[in-house]
Amino acid sequence: MGTILVTGGAGFIGSAVVRHIINNTSDTVVNVDKLTYAGNLESLTSVAKSERYHFEQVDICRQAEISALLNKYQPTAIMHLAAESHVDRSIDGPGEFIQTNIVGTYSLLEAARSYWVDLPEGEQNNFRFHHISTDEVYGDLEGTEDLFTEETPYAPSSPYSASKASSDHLVRAWGRTFGLPIIITNCSNNYGPFHFPEKLVPHVILNALAGKPLPVYGDGSQIRDWLYVEDHARALYRVINKAKIGETFNIGGHNEKKNIEVVETICSLLEELAPNKPKGIKNYRDLITFVTDRPGHDLRYAIDATKIHKELNWKPSETFESGLKKTVLWYLDNQNWWKSILSGEYKLDRIGSESHTKETVVGSK
């Protein structure tokens, strides 16, 4: 039994991690989230009443407040997921990405280091700082057979991926220079329940149900490796408990798909699962619209997840087909969740609320 402090626990991947830990382990979770537009406590309703769950609305850039939380809850591990993550938003306004992903990670590292050095030796040896990152730090792949490995050089393309690459470097530096017991994971594109509507999969589902256009960047030939979010949550918990200090693991779903394939598959699933279309719509695919490509758009990401399979005995449970069907069904069955986001109601009771979701083009992350 331990106490895990999860930053960004009200976000998409973070909330999946929190739910997994509360529902499947005996650990306590401290969810630290600033509650920006992408944070939604309604994603944690199923575990919110657990005696092992605690929520603190704190910005990770506020080092003194983070230090106070560490001293209050005495965590045995930190899982750092808090980040600005939408590429389009990073192009429109890079500043928030620099602040949260770089400055925020620095502040968290310093708070964690101060906390860790004061722990008794046995507790120091058991403590872990797990930084959750993205495959986008590697840039894109030229060949159709190449894969990202843990040794692939960094070559980020967008302000988002550059900020995440920077945070990865900071974490490694704090491990090398100060001895902080760090672990890093880099994941492929996630999808699944509770995904914020601006991202590709939920954006397509909800636009299609509303009879709105499904704008696709370029010709939709960009390739991504798709990972079901609950598989990712299992992997992250396995890493925090089993990985050696200083290690890096790539986590992928073994599901390479072109963006246009993803969109077309969702349309096919909706034909089966939601046949009563909006007025005037004959086929969901008729809503697909190709638009000018995103600046600097990476063509292909693909992860080699051999290391985590061999060393930690993890592999995804869901295929792309099974995971995507579960996802579409979830959005059909949980309309109150996403309707409250689209209306902005989900953040009426929070401090410092911001503008809610905006219309985005269907691209990658």
CA distances 235 to 98, 150, 157, 311, Å, are 27, 16, 26, 12
The 3-state DSSP class for residue 198 equals: coil
pLDDT in tens, 297-336: 989 999 999 999 999 999 999 999 999 999 999 999 999 9
Write the Ramachandran bin of 30: left for phi over 0, alpha for psi from -120 to 50, otherwise beta: beta
pTM for this prediction: 0.94
3-state percent breakdown (helix, strand, coil) of the chain, nearest 5: 45, 15, 40
Residue 352 confidence (pLDDT) = 46
pLDDT in tens, 235-247: 999 999 999 999 9
- Could you tell me the residue range of the domain that residue 68 belongs to? 3-195+227-257+301-319
pLDDT category at 353 given cuts 50, 70, 90 is: very low
Catalytic annotation present for 88: no
Residue 160 lies in a domain: yes
Catalytic residue among 160, 228, 284, 331: 160
Residue 287 lies in a domain: no
Catalytic residue among 27, 84, 88, 135: 135
Residue 50 has pLDDT above 60, yes or no: yes
Residue 157 lies in a domain: yes
Residue 92 lies in a domain: yes
Residue 202 has pLDDT above 70, yes or no: yes
When computed from its CA atoms, the radius of gyration of the chain, rounded to whole angstroms, is: 20
Q: How many CB atoms within 10 Å of residue 189? A: 24
27 token code pair: 């650990």
Catalytic residue among 136, 140, 230, 318: 136
* Number of domains observed in the structure of the chain: 1
pLDDT in tens, 104-141: 999 999 999 999 999 999 999 999 999 999 999 999 99
Burial of 321 (0-12, 13-18, 19+ CB in 10 A): exposed
Residue 362 lies in a domain: no
d(CA 224, CA 220): 11
Catalytic annotation present for 198: no
Residue 70 lies in a domain: yes
Catalytic annotation present for 33: no
Residue 351 lies in a domain: no
At 24, which CATH number? 3.40.50.720
